[in-house]
Amino acid sequence: MSYPAPSRRFGQQSVRAYAQVGLETEVLSASPEHLITLLFNGARTAMLQARLHMEQGNIAGRGQSLSKAIDIVDSGLKMAIDTEKGGELARNLVATYDLILHNLMLANLRNDAEKLTLAERLLTDIADAWRSNVDTQRAKQPA
C-alpha cells in the first residue's frame, strides 16, 4: 500500500506548529529577563520579514510585519520599563523606543529602507546590551 506524498502546504503548517510549540515552551520556562530577550528576537524577526517584503514590493506583507514589530516594541518592550524605579536611564530608554517606533512607522508609510535600517540598528544595540548585561545567565550557556 502506498500513501500520497504530503502536500507542501501540510509540511509548512507542520513546521509552523512545531515552531509555535517550541516558542511557547521557551516562553513558559523563561526567566523575566529572558522574556525581554524573546521580545527583542520577535521584533528583530518582524523587521527582517518587513525588509524582505519591502524588497519584493509586497505592501500588505510589509505593513503586517512592521505592525507586528511596532506592537512588540510598544506593547512589550516599552511597557516593561518601570520609569519610576529606572530614573533617567529608563526615561532615555523610553525615548529611544519612541524613536524606533517613529522610524518603523515612517518605513511603512514611505517604503523607506533607511528608516527601517535605523530602527533595526537602534533595537539591535539595545538588545545586545541587554543580553550582555542583564540576560547573562542565558548568554553564558553554550548554544
- Could you count the other beta carbons within 10 Å of the beta carbon of residue 103? 21
The pTM of the full predicted model, rounded to 2 decimals, is 0.78
CATH number at residue 76: 1.20.120.340
* pLDDT digits (tens), the chain, 143 positions: 555 555 555 555 654 554 555 545 555 556 888 899 999 999 999 999 999 999 999 999 999 999 999 999 999 999 999 999 999 999 999 999 999 999 999 999 999 999 999 999 999 999 999 999 987 755 455 44
Contacts of 5 (CB under 8 A, 6+ apart): none
Residue 38 lies in a domain: yes
State which residues form the domain around 58.
Answer: 34-135
Tell me if residue 73 falls in helix, strand or coil: helix
Closest CA to 75 of 46, 54, 112, 107: 46
Place of cell 530577550: 37
Place of cell 513546521: 15
Mean pLDDT of the chain: 85
Residue 140 lies in a domain: no
Extract the C-alpha cell encoding 72: 512588540
Could you give the number of structural domains in the chain? Answer: 1
Phi, psi of 31 (to 5 degrees): -75, 165
